[in-house]
Amino acid sequence: MGKYEHDAREMLKLVGGRENIVAVTHCMTRMRFALADPSKADVPAIEALPVVKGSFTQAGQFQIIIGNDVADFYDDFVAISGVSEASKADVKAAAVGNQNPLQKAMGAIAEVFAPLIPAIITGGLILGFRNVLGDMPYFGPDGTQTLASLSQFWTGVYSFLWLIGEAVFHLGIPVGICWSITKKMGGTPMLGIVLGLTLVSSQLMNAYAVPSATAADWATHTWDFGFAQVHMIGYQAQVLPAILAAICFNYYERFFKKITPTVVQMIVVPFCSLLLGVMTAHFIVGPIGWAIGAAIGNIVNLGITGPFRVLFGAIFGAVYAPLVITGLHHMTNAVDLQLIADYGGTMLWPMIALSNIAQGSAVVAMSVLQKKDDKAQQVNIPSFISCYLGVTEPAMFGVNLKYTFPFICAMIGSSLAAIVCTATGTTANAIGVGGLPGILSIQPAYIASFAICMLIAVVVPFTLTFVIGKRKGIDKGVGVENVSLEGNEIAAIPAAQDLSSLSVDGTLRAVVTGTAVPLSEVEDQVFASGAMGKGVGIRPTEGEVVAPADALVTVMMAETGHAVGLKLGNGMEVLIHVGIDTVEMNGDGFEVHVRQGQLVHAGDPLVSFDRAKIAAAGKKDTVMEIVTEPGEAGELTLTESGSVRAGKTPVVKF
C-alpha cells in the first residue's frame, strides 16, 4: 500500500463510505466523485485532512483538491475502497443526476467551450502583443509613436500576428463551436468542422461588413432561387448561430442514421444531414441566432454603458466570483464574444480579470498572515500565483472559501474595481487572458484606467483580508488544527497556544467508567483498524466523559457532543469519540461542558451522554480513546481489558 493509505481510509469514510460512491476518477490536481447522496460527505472534516487543499462541488461532481500527488493518492484510494476505476466521462455521466436543469445547461455550455479555451487564451495573448506593437503610441524620441511605425520588422510582426488573431476569433470560434458540439452529441466531428466553415466562408459577406452594406453589396451577396432570395451573410465571431446550427445538424445526422439502411449510411447520412444542416443554418437559425445574440449584446452593453453602468459594475464585480462556484460563469464567454463581434470590444472581460486579481490578492494577505505556517503556505503561494495568472479555483476553493472572510473581502475589492472600470468605459479587444496579464488584452486608450482598477483589486482585498485576519488571530496560528471523524461543525482553535503550563505525567487515564476492550474489537472499522492511531475502547457503565490528562481542547463538536479533541503539553493529540454513528443523533442525549480552546485538567468533565437514548437510537455507546499523534511520547503501553474508572485508571502509558 502507498504512503496515502491513512488519508485514503479517512476520505473513504468521510465521503459516506463505499456505498455512497457511484464513480470516482481524478484529473491533474483533483479527485472527482459522483456521490449517490452528496449531503453525506463531511466537507469540513475532509478539508481538514493533511493531504487535502480544498474541495468544491461543480456540475454535480464533488471535487477534492489534492495537488500534484493526486495520481498516487487515487491509486491508494481505489485499492482501499475497492471502487473500480472510472473515466472522467463516466463520472460526468453519473454526476448528471445531482444537477438541477440550470446546472445541466451551464455544464453543457462549459463542455462546449472548454476545448476552445487554449485557442481563446492564445488568441487573446496574440491580440495583446499586437496592442503593444501597433496601438500604443508611447515610443520614439517624442514618445508619440508605436513600435510598428518605428521599425519595419515590428510592422511585419504586427501584420503576421493578425493571421493567428483572425483565425481564432473571427474564423475559429464558429468552427470550433460546431466541432465541439458535434463531438459532445456523438456526431461526426469532421462534418461539424465543415458546417462551421460554411458559416465563415469567404464567399459570404463578412459579418463585420453587414451593418454598413449597400444595395450594391447585397446584389453580389444574395442567393437568388427565383421564388426566394437569401442574403449571403457570414457569421464570423458569432456564437449563437454556430450553436443553433450545430445542434440542428446533429439531430439531422441522428435521424438519418436511424432510418437509413446500414449498407448505404456512408453516403446518405453525411450528404443529407450536412445539406439540410447548412440550409437550416443560413436560411433559418443563423438569422435567428444573430438576432438573439445581438439582443443579448445590446442588453449587456446597455447595462455597461447606460446611466446605471456603475451599479451594473458594482453588482457584476461582486457576484462574478460566486458565479464561478456555481459554474454559471461559463456563459460570460459567449456574451463577451458577442460584444466583441457587435461592438469591437468588451467591457465585461476587464471586470472578470479584476475579479481574478482580487481573489489572488486576498490569498496574498493570507500568505503574509500565515508566513510561519508551512502547511498553509504550501497552498497559499501556488494559489495566488495561479490566480494572478487567471486561474482562480485553487485560490477560491483552497483558501478563500475555507476561511470565508477572504472571499468576501475579494468580492468587495472586485466590486470597487469594477465600478471604476465601468465608469471609465475600460474595454478589452479580446478575452482569455485573465489576472495580471489581462492588461495585454485592454485597448490602448484604456490601459491607464485599467492599471488603476488593478491597483484597487490588489490593495483593497489585501488590506481588508489582512486587517480582519489580524483581528481573528490568523497571524498567531488560530486555525483548524484537529478534527473528529464525523460531524459538520469545526470551529477555529488557537493552534499555536503555549501549552508549557500543562503538566505531563506520562499517563492517559480512562475517559469514562466501564470495561476496557482492544480497539480492534470496537464496531467501527476505521477505529478498529488502527488507522486513526493506537488506543483503547471502553464499553461504558456511566455516561460522563472526563479529561484523561491536563490538555487543551482543540476540537469540541458543540452541536453534536459526540467527539472531543485534546492536545497535551508534550504535543500528544488525543481523540475521544463517544459511540458509533452517534453524530446522527444531532446532539440529542449529549451535554457539552467545555468549549473549544479551553484548558482542562485531568478529571474535568467534558461531555455527558444518555446511554438509554443512544440505545433507543439503535447505536453503540462504546467510547474510543485514541492517540492520533504521539508528539514527543515514546512507546505506548495500553490497558486493553478489565474495569476502568473515569479519571482514575491509567489506560495509556508513555
Tell me which residues are annotated as active site.
27
Query: If DSSP codes are grouped into helix, strand and coil, which group holds residue 494?
Result: strand
Cα distance between residue 577 and residue 604, in whole Å = 17
CB 469 within 8 A of CB 475: yes
Residue pair 540/645 in contact by the 8 Å Cβ criterion: no
**Quick one: which of 316, 278, 323, 511 has its CA closest to 426?**
316
Q: Is residue 566 a contact partner of residue 554, using CB atoms and an 8 Å limit?
A: yes
Sheet holding 590-592, edge to edge: 544-546, 605-609, 590-592
Neighbours of 229 (CB within 10 A): 10
- Look at residues 250, 337, 327 and name the one whose alpha carbon lies nearest to residue 285: 250
Which three cell numbers mark 58? 461543480
Determine contact, residues 322/396, Cβ cutoff 8 Å.
no
**Which residues have a Cβ under 8 Å from the Cβ of 387 and sit 6 or more positions away?**
356, 357, 359, 360, 363, 394, 395, 396, 435
Give the span between the Cα atoms of 392 and 435, in whole angstroms. 9
Q: Is 285 helix (H, G, I), strand (E, B) or coil?
A: helix
User: Alpha-carbon distance 608 to 606, whole Å?
Assistant: 7
Per-residue CA distances from 112 to 17, 197, 264, 477 (Å): 33, 17, 31, 44
Say which DSSP state 168 is in.
Answer: I
Distance, in Å, from the CA atom of 172 to the CA atom of 160, rounded to the nearest integer, reads 17
From 327, 350, 324, 346, select the one nearest 337 (Cα to Cα).
Answer: 346
Of 221, 238, 222, give the one whose Cα is nearest residue 230: 222
